[in-house]
Amino acid sequence: MIDRERLANLFKSLVEIDSVSRNERAIANEIRKVAESLGAICHVDDSEKRTGSDTGNLILKFKGNRPMEPLLLSAHMDTVEPGCGVKPVFKDGIFTSDGTTILGADDKSAIAIILEVIRILVENEQPHCPLEFVLTTCEEIGLLGAKNLDFSLITAKKGYVLDTSDIGVIVNRAPAANRLELNVFGKDAHAGVAPEQGISAIVLASRAIAGLKLGRIDHETTCNIGVINGGVAINIVPKMVSIQGEVRSHDNHKLNRITENIVNVFQSVIDGWQGDEESSESPSLEYKIEKDFPFTNIPEDHPVISIAQKAASNLGRSVKSKSTGGGADANIFFEQGIVAGVIGTGMKDMHSVRESIRLDDMVQTAELLIEIIRLHSA
């Protein structure tokens, strides 16, 4: 049923369109052209005013031929660097780039699959519920498109986001995350002439970081310090250092407790500093905590999960539910009351010049999606 050659050609044409985050207009226009030829009603929201993209999120609505509630299908249009001038190579059934850029299977394989599925439904006049195809911008730089999506344009309350690797899983649990920025302030001084007159912000920050437990905290919680910036020259006691990190957890209590502990450890180091009794200056701390994304927790018996598993079984396959440590647009949808499981397209080694995807995996995902839609529409 899947037209393999057509799917391959569509995927190839999509990855050849540059769409690094905040530059998604060209690919949005191409997707819109294809979708409108299939009868879609297209909407573009005004999220670009807040994301900095050159276009808003794209919402494509296919009315279906069954009077039922719509089903959400979603993917993101942006890619990471190096993502310009992609030259796809197809050999032995596998797509790669030429090795100088990413491929862009993350997440253009999903877009190609969904468009091929919709084309099949239209061409064969298959019974199906209304479909809402949501294509976001700026997913790769903090889920910004989804965070700023105009949800008044969306009526679906359940669906699927295609944005993971393994075609044999559906992600039903993902953590919430907090983003932290801590700025430690000391006092600058000449490092060779009068170091005792300075207060090294880097030393203070290092002591605080050394007092943290980082990495995997437990089976559902992680913590990381990822960026440190500070100092201006090797002969100057550094006055300021900035530290950026994150905490993720499937448990909001743990998320907030560990976030608070990080701040407390830094503050304790600052408060414990002892300098020259004659000095009136002391170090200080400023910090900012932002909720990066909320958690997703879909029950095992929810129709989004059970129907996907039934669809796989009907095809002689299996799909297992999975908990992940990553975030996706599905996290944002979940907070807005839209239950969306995340399914895979087969993409491998994403965010690297070694990225690849098998055409067979794309075909299998398309077949699964058609069966999911059939069961939802029954």
Q: What is the C-alpha to C-alpha distance for residues 343 and 368, in angstroms, rounded to an integer?
A: 10
Query: Kind of pairing, strands 58-62 and 41-44?
Result: antiparallel
Distinct helix (H) and strand (E) counts, the chain: 10, 19
Contact between residue 93 and residue 33 where contact means Cβ atoms under 8 Å apart: no
Residue 57 sits at φ, ψ, to 5 deg, of -65, 150
Q: Is 44 helix (H, G, I), strand (E, B) or coil?
A: strand
Please identify every residue annotated as catalytic: 78, 139
Q: Please give the angle made by the CA atoms of 337, 341 and 344, to the nearest 5 degrees.
A: 150
Q: What is the C-alpha to C-alpha distance for residues 95 and 116, in angstroms, rounded to an integer?
A: 17
Q: Which distant-in-sequence residues (6+ apart) come within 8 Å of 206 by Cβ?
A: none
Q: What is the C-alpha to C-alpha distance for residues 370 and 118, in angstroms, rounded to an integer?
A: 9
Contact between residue 21 and residue 30 where contact means Cβ atoms under 8 Å apart: no
Q: Which distant-in-sequence residues (6+ apart) come within 8 Å of 370 by Cβ?
A: 1, 117, 120, 121, 126
